Amino acid sequence: MSKVQSHVRTRLWRGGRLVEEDFPLERVSDLLDDEEALIWVDLCDPDGKLIAKLAEELELAPQIVEDAVNKLARVRVARESAYTFVTVFATSMEPGDVDQEIDSDEIASSPRLRLAQVSTFLLRRGLVTVRHATGFDMDEVVSRWDENADLLRYGPGALLHGLLDAIVDGHFDTVQDLDDQIETLEDLLFAEGAPDRSLQRRTYLMRKDLVELRRVVLPMREVIGSILRVRRELNSPRDLDVWWEDLYDHVQRVSEWTESLRDMITSVFETNLSLQDARLNVVMKKLTGWAAIIAVPTAVTGWFGQNLPFPGFGDRSGLILSLSVIVATVLILFLLFRRRGWI
């Protein structure tokens, strides 16, 4: 029994006022029949026995319970006769090493996106959350409920709103972090001696992070929209709708920001490739210019090295003539290439 309790956190409110915490899971079904009660049950890293106990206590569908603990789940909302099931993902950036010197040969790793799955069961008089131990701080959500305790009198919708509001705020922080990283990459693009290998790796990793972020952020619009429709169908208190509409607006802004970042990182990736081609062209021009200059003395000395008589053959005047031709031709080519920017 102690093993089960170590994974369970419970709360009970009456009239928006907290009256009890950490009560046994067995009391949940009885409290759900109490019209004045509002309960919250949090299961962190639940094992099979705990999930089976919850499913039996709340009469949950087995396939829905399986989705709640499946780490490969996707963002979704499903309405059943007795509850509404919602799966979302909290996001945060895992700190990593960032290039301090842009001319370093080391390949630095970018901060990586970290996802934390949070599944919820929205009941008539309560909310059940199922999550994993790492990646999401439920204490932040609880503090929001305590700060807006007056909203809890509107029922479990207020609990779900506080949870999703904290998750969406985390999306904002993640997008802001990625935006700052992309700006850093843009600065590195045109820096002298920028490490191409490190820059390519950071750009590629960031593209992967943005793909993952879009996968969990964009469906949030449908999740919030579906919850709003369910609330209207159930004739839930309209006083809370303004909070949900504000949350929907935040989700829209995060989605649009994420889409713009996708375009930005694509632009950085393509610009980096274009700059590499441009740098290669500059290198080829310089090599071509110096090759042409080196070819002049090679050609002249090769001509004078033939065993055939010609003007100046075997005489000091031939040496002076060959040196004059080499110096004059090399100087002319150098000045021409310098003017064109090839050297």
Tokens representing residue 102 in the block: 């842009």
Per-residue pLDDT at 3: 39
Determine the topology of domain 2-278 in CATH. Beta Polymerase; domain 2 (3.30.460)
Q: Quickly count: other Cβ atoms within 10 Å of residue 53's Cβ.
A: 18
Torsion angle of C-alpha atoms 248, 254, 259, 261, degrees rounded to 10: 170
Per-residue pLDDT at 4: 38
Rounded Cα gap, residues 113 and 115, in angstroms: 7
Tokens representing residue 55 in the block: 């499913």
Q: Label the pairing between strands 84-94 and 76-79.
A: antiparallel
Domain boundaries, the chain: 2-278, 280-340
Kindly give the residue spans of alpha helices, DSSP state H, lying in the chain. 2-5, 28-32, 48-58, 62-69, 138-147, 156-189, 196-217, 220-233, 241-304, 316-340
Tokens representing residue 133 in the block: 């131990």
Question: Can you say whether residue 235 is alpha, beta or left, with left for phi > 0 and alpha for psi between -120 and 50 degrees?
Answer: left
Tokens representing residue 166 in the block: 């904290």
Rounded Cα gap, residues 83 and 29, in angstroms: 13
Per-residue pLDDT at 303: 60
Which pLDDT tens digit goes with each residue over 100-121?
Answer: 444 443 434 556 889 999 989 9
Tokens representing residue 151 in the block: 């909203």
Per-residue pLDDT at 161: 92
User: Which residues of the chain are modeled with pLDDT < 70?
Assistant: 1-6, 72, 96-111, 191-197, 232-237, 275, 278, 299-314, 319, 342
Residues 65, 53 contacting (CB under 8 angstroms): no
Q: Which residues pair with 41 in a beta bridge?
A: 10, 128
φ/ψ (deg, to 5) at 303: -65, -45
Per-residue pLDDT at 55: 79
String of DSSP letters for 107-133: -PPPPEEEEEEEEEEE-SSEEEEEE-S
Q: Which of 137, 281, 111, 295 is nearest to 210 (CA)?
A: 111
